């Protein structure tokens, strides 16, 4: 199939923990906080790399994790930030949020990159937590957890060569003869309903990909026949191989066929005409083909490759010609008109406010912000408890609990932990 797709889980790096330390040095009588902050956790960044062609590497990497930041240390030493983790993907890769389907990024240019999962910030050490009212706090923060999300990574595959032409000219037959693909072949029009992709391996072991595109007819760019659904795939091929039924067996003039297709390509995206193109004259085994070709050559001054796909004639030469063209053509991807700009979504994180659910005498508090605060709190001292409860109060959780009728001794739960409620 043309679309390659992988779902992977990402966990960005956790921030390093803050450090709780006090100054105890000779000649410095007052001491004071001395714990450094943790470093930021690594982000997970997707980066387009023109050297890649498939998502195969991701298939073996179902869960990508970034490194955590280093913990802060005494003597006010801050932990260093973790290096980001780079996931390389081919050009033409789209990254979507797996839950919502929202496009996070569409990477189309080499080296283009986007942060897909953010690393957590480092927890503050007690130096950074000092305030005027509490100049020497005896608490510190844990690092913030890294962002965790599932994404769907999609690649619209790029073929080196696209076989283009009217229905029944023999595109699928050519593909079946020169590549490992097994497309359906039949004498009626529109046998091929979606593009097939095959790999050609030459005698000297060079390989390139060829796509057999569904037949185009006049008006395809405006929706006739199978429409322009597949013309966009032509934008993603390096070379256009124009297949012409030279026999005229269906009553058309091969030259008109050629002009029709060129017009369709042009009205879909005029840049398509700037792509390298070769002309394949097929069905040369049929008697009328010789004459038709003579007339055709009078009007078209381009090199034409004569073949009979069904009899395997002229195909060895064709394979070599295409190989040289593929080798000597730089990646040339044109994009659909509406997405010429590549697309990167810069997200603004909004943390949902808390919710409280009552189950018997237990009040369960949920919400990103509260849970994060909880995870970042190191409950090793009385003071850190006080700080934690002050923060809950500021968020309005106490008021809400009281409104819901909480009373002394009831249980409050955040994540897996339970507290006894006291005023
Ligand atoms: N005589 C002759 N017939 C051919 C040759 N190549 C293909 N055909 C026949 O032409 C018909 C159409 O071939 P396909 O390969 O299905 O054509 P297509 O261009 O893929 O057609 P669509 O998928 O409908 O667009 C089939 O009946 C083939 O057997 C050839 O070199 N000589
Ligand atoms: Mg076909």
- Under the banding of pLDDT at 50, 70 and 90, the label for residue 146 is very high
Q: How far apart are CA 14 and CA 65, in angstroms?
A: 10
Instruction: State how far the alpha carbon of 87 is from the alpha carbons of 2, 54, 55, 90, in Å.
Output: 22, 13, 11, 10
More confident residue, 291 or 220: 291
Ligand 1, atom 3: closest residue by C-alpha: 283
pLDDT-above-70 percentage for the chain = 90
**Residues with C-beta less than 6 Å from any ligand 1 atom:** 165, 167-173, 185-187, 189-192, 214-215, 282-283, 285-286, 308-310
Q: Kindly state the tokens that stand for 172.
A: 């699928």
Q: How far apart are CA 137 and CA 119, in angstroms?
A: 26
DSSP β-bridge partners for residue 164: 242
Compute the average pLDDT of residues 274-292: 94
pLDDT at residue 376, rounded to an integer: 93
Give Cβ neighbours of residue 370 (< 8 Å, ≥ 6 apart).
Answer: 354, 392, 395, 397, 414
Q: How far is the CA of 268 from the centre of ligand 1 (A)?
A: 25
Q: How far apart are CA 206 and CA 202, in angstroms?
A: 5
Give Cβ neighbours of residue 165 (< 8 Å, ≥ 6 apart).
Answer: 171, 215, 216, 242, 243, 244, 245, 257, 261
Q: Give 155-209 pLDDT, tens digit per residue.
A: 866 688 999 999 899 999 999 999 888 888 888 888 887 778 888 888 888 888 8
SS3 call for 52: coil
pTM of the model: 0.62
Q: How far is the CA of 191 from the centre of ligand 2 (A)?
A: 5
Q: Kindly state the tokens that stand for 96.
A: 């979507």
Q: Kindly state the tokens that stand for 148.
A: 């965790």
Largest CA distance in the chain: 107
Considering every ligand atom, which ligand is closest to the CA of 191? 1
Beta strands in 40-179 (DSSP E): 44-48, 63-65, 85-89, 93-97, 103-107, 113-117, 148-156, 161-164
pLDDT at residue 350, rounded to an integer: 61
More confident residue, 148 or 346: 148
Does the pLDDT value for residue 319 go beyond 90? yes
Q: How far is the CA of 192 from the centre of ligand 1 (A)?
A: 11
């Amino acid at each position: 199939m043309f679309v390659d797709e992988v779902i992977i889980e990402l966990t960005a790096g956790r921030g390093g923990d803050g450090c709780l330390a006090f100054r105890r040095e000779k000649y410095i009588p007052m001491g004071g906080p001395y714990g450094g902050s943790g470093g930021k956790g690594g982000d997970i960044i997707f980066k387009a790399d023109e050297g890649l062609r498939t998502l195969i590497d991701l298939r073996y990497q179902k869960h990508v994790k970034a490194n955590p930041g280093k913990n802060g240390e005494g003597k006010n030493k801050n932990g260093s930030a973790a290096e980001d983790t780079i996931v390389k993907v081919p050009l033409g890769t789209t990254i979507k949020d797996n839950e919502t389907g929202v496009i996070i990024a569409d990477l189309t240019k080499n080296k283009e990159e986007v942060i897909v999962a953010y690393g957590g910030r480092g927890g503050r050490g007690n130096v950074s937590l000092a305030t005027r009212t509490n100049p020497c706090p005896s608490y510190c923060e844990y690092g913030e957890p890294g962002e965790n999300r599932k994404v769907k990574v999609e690649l619209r595959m790029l073929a080196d060569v696209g076989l283009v032409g009217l229905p029944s000219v023999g595109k699928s037959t050519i593909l079946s003869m020169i590549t490992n693909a097994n497309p359906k072949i039949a004498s009626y029009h529109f046998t091929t309903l979606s593009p097939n992709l095959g790999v050609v391996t030459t005698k000297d072991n060079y390989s390139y990909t060829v796509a057999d595109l569904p037949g185009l007819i006049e008006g395809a760019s405006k929706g006739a026949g199978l429409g322009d659904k597949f013309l966009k795939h032509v934008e993603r091929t390096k070379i256009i191989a124009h297949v012409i039924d030279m026999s005229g067996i269906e009553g058309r003039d091969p030259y008109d066929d050629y002009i029709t297709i060129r017009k369709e390509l042009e009205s879909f995206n005029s840049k398509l005409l700037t792509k390298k193109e070769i002309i394949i004259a097929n069905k040369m085994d049929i008697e009328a083909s010789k004459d038709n070709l003579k007339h055709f050559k009078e009007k078209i001054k381009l090199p034409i490759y004569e073949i009979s796909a069904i009899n395997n004639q002229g195909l060895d030469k064709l394979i070599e010609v295409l190989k040289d063209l593929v080798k000597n053509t730089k990646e040339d991807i044109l994009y659909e008109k509406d997405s010429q700009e590549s697309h990167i979504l810069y997200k603004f994180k909004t943390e949902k406010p808390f919710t409280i659910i009552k189950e018997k005498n237990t009040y369960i508090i949920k919400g990103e912000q509260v849970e994060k605060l909880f995870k970042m709190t190191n409950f090793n001292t009385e003071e850190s408890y006080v700080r934690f409860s002050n923060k809950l109060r500021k968020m309005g959780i106490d008021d809400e609990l009281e409104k819901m009728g909480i009373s002394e001794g009831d249980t409050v739960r955040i994540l897996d932990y339970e507290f006894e409620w006291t005023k």
